[in-house]
Amino acid sequence: MEVILRRPGAFFYVLSYCRVHSKIPEPAKKMIKKAESLQTLLNRKVEEYNRPFFIDNDPITVPHRFQKLQDIEIAGFFASVFAWGNRKGIIKKSLELMQLMDQAPHDFCCNHSNADLKKLLAFKHRTFNATDLLYFISFLKMHYCKHRSLEYAFTHRMNQADTTTENALNGFYGYFFSLEDFPARTVKHIASPFKHSACKRLNMYLRWMVRSDGCAVDFGLWKKIKPHQLVIPLDVHVAKVARHFQLLQRKQNDWKAATELTSVLRQFDAKDPVKYDFALFGLGVLEKF
């Protein structure tokens, strides 16, 4: 039992131990109580933040300004790629780009003229510049000429037995950089598990596109990826709160850490573990936990 108590996500091992042992040691009783209290807290925070009011001050507000499937996908993709730093700045630059695209990102990507592209040459967000933007648009034009939805870009390398989105994200990375002469500098803007990244921004984007819970925050537009396959968008704030609650033991914020935390959260909700992003993010960023 002492060994079990020191393992990552230890209270879940305790619960399993107690199912097959009639006598529950005192340390286990305390840990079970702690786990139940933590789950209650996290569920309450999910209910508190997974509401429409959350949208306005979060990058997800950008795709929520559109109705057309492809516009939502493209606006969400750019907003997620830009999602590092101050949230107000992320939203501001994302909306600036949507304005440069005449508030019709799908039509712009597919039918732009050279004159249209010239309007983008001064665009910049942190290390993302016009060179990166022009390649992104080239990719999106290529993709939408062949496919109705961006969902295919993430699912074409997935297998039915996949328990996470690792194959989805690795497949997307290879597909995204499949055009000839892609700029070497642009590679840094698309993360992938094979490079050991936590893939926070793309996991957040997948949460937006996949989760459907009737709360009107996430869109639930894509059906080939299931909510139980999603991986938590792990940033410094989520990781800090998770480690405080001993939900995460790994010290690096990388892909292994993201999947470790997601595995623990599945013990709270096996079908929708990533809903706890609302709780962990809310505690870390909004409540300065």
Whether the predicted model's global pTM rises above the 0.85 cut: yes
Domain boundary among 181, 201, 221: 201
Domain assignment present for residue 258? The answer is yes
Distance of CA 85 to the CA centre of its chain: 16
Phi, psi (deg, nearest 5) at residue 45: -70, -35
Of 258, 238, 241, 247, the closest CA to residue 7 belongs to: 247
**Nearest one of 216, 214, 125 to 136, comparing CA atoms:** 125
Last residue of a domain, one of 201, 220, 251: 201
Same domain, 79 and 190: yes
43 & 70 share domain: no
- For the chain, what is the domain count? 2
Do 73 and 177 lie in one domain? The reply is yes
CA distance 92 to 83: 11
What 8-state DSSP symbol labels residue 229? G
208 belongs to a structural domain:
no
> Domain range spanning residue 244?
2-49+232-286
The 10s digit of each residue's pLDDT in 248-274 is 999 999 999 999 999 999 999 999 999
Pair 68, 192 in one domain: yes
User: For residue range 211-227, what is the model confidence (pLDDT) as tens digits?
Assistant: 999 999 999 999 999 99
My answer on whether 187 and 117 are in the same domain is yes
Burial 148-168, CB ≥16 within 10 A → b, else e: ebbbebbbebbeeeeebbbbb
The answer to whether residue 12 is domain-embedded is yes
Q: Give the tens place of pLDDT for each residue, 130-185.
A: 999 999 999 999 999 999 999 999 999 999 899 999 999 999 999 999 999 999 99
Q: Single out the residue in 201, 219, 247 at which a domain terminates.
A: 201
Q: Helix %, strand %, coil % for the chain, to 5?
A: 60, 0, 40
